[in-house]
Copies of this chain bind each other. A is one copy, B any other.
């Protein structure tokens, strides 16, 4: 027998039977005028609405016919009846713009080529997860992450980044900023209330740590990376493989000095997979797994939109960080975690990373070769962006905006504004492959327009 409840849409009309035909029509008109039944939306079938309201189907049919005649509804043979789009109250305008107007060209740093997102692999992996996952996975999840993903990450991080990872010490978060917030809170709960950042460093991460109650201080960076001898905080966040945004690598002697400094180290390995000139430098974490929190993300390798990141924790931080995670209330989707685990285990993730690495290396080479000689590129051949030093950030930004080019400057990344040097951060990974050359030409035109005159 067909299930009478499964045939149509749920509606709420605020109407009860016994009030007669006119009144149901009134209720529907009000729903349309209020925007509860929105322009273009399908309305319930006559059968379902009659069932829900406990009235005869013929009544609903007549009311629908009346409302169609009045222009509220649009009926058409063989298709669901819909709310008409003409003559109804306009859709209330959002209290803020839905999206910022997009630039035509993007060189946004830290963003991978979104057009390369492995859509087919994601679809297929989702289908496999849906076919094979036991029902229990759809329930309330383990707060520290789905076991299948933690196991897959332990294997992946071990072989690709040299991380000593135990699934029981991994925490999966809803984005990298979530991981920073949770860590900051856990450190605070342990009495560690000051967090040092590299100067410069990603300003947003400092804001997140500060919002979680940490006092933020800066430690300068030179060509050998963080000036470790100047670290004087109980905890420090560092990008040893490829400094963000300057692109330098933490020198071997400083790696050793850092893990011996006594500070709790947060190793932000945001783009450790992308080194072009030689095999990657392994994670700092392997040198001192009880002093280093390893932090990684799928935002650079797959897509920021997945909001998936992970921490590998020293034993002493497991309980405090898991507690802070629970207190945050947020957890990443289990479905996405299972899909990522599937991609990691099948090798599709590695395949995607390698394809992107080849492409990004090619782009970086093309960019460096095309730059005018007087512009110096900083940092190693790695990652998703490079820095070009130049003085006139504001002029460059203004010119880029005129050309509809999305670009960032060093400015907001500095902590101590006295130390600041000017520069632009060129995210060469961001454009779609077909658009890269045109984007590069736009960048060069921007630089040519500004630099000779004003910097």
User: A residues bordering B, Cβ < 8 Å?
Assistant: 3, 5-14, 16, 31, 34-38, 41-43, 52-54, 92-96, 98-99, 102, 111, 114-115, 117, 119-120, 122-123, 126-127, 130-131, 135-142, 147, 154-155, 158-164, 166-169, 173-182, 207-208, 211-212, 273, 278-280, 282-283, 286, 299, 303-308, 315, 318, 327-336, 347, 350-351, 353-355, 357-358, 432
Contacts and interface: CB of A to CB of B under 8 A. Distances in A.
Contacts of A136: 102, 114
Contacts of A135: 114-115, 117, 432
A164 B34 contact: yes
Contact of A147 (B98, B178, B304, B354): B98
Given A5-B357, A14-B162, A333-B308, A328 B181 contact: yes
Given A95-B168, A95-B318, A330-B330, 15 more contacts: A6-B354, A13-B162, A14-B286, A36-B158, A38-B155, A111-B140, A114-B138, A123-B123, A138-B305, A173-B330, A174-B178, A175-B330, A176-B329, A178-B328, A307-B330
Contact of A6 (B111, B335, B351): B351
Nearest to A98: B147
Contacts of A212: 327
B138 A303 contact: yes
Contacts of A305: 137-141, 333-335
Contacts of A355: 3, 5-6
A255 to B, nearest CB: 13
Contact of A304 (B13, B31, B138): B138
Contact of A3 (B3, B7, B11, B358): B358
A46 to B, nearest CB: 15
Contacts of A10: 159-160, 273, 350, 353-354
Contacts of A353: 10
B329 A175 contact: yes
Given A53-B279, A114-B138, A334 B306 contact: yes
A279 B96 contact: no
Contacts of A9: 159-160, 347, 350
A328 B331 contact: no
A123 B130 contact: yes
Contacts of A286: 14, 36
A177 B329 contact: yes
A394 B73 CA distance: 57
A417 to B, nearest CB: 23
A139 B111 contact: yes
Given A7-B354, A330-B175, A304 B141 contact: yes
A432 B136 CA distance: 10
A30 B236 CA distance: 30
A212 B12 CA distance: 34
A195 to B, nearest CB: 14
A138 B307 CA distance: 10
A6 B349 CA distance: 10
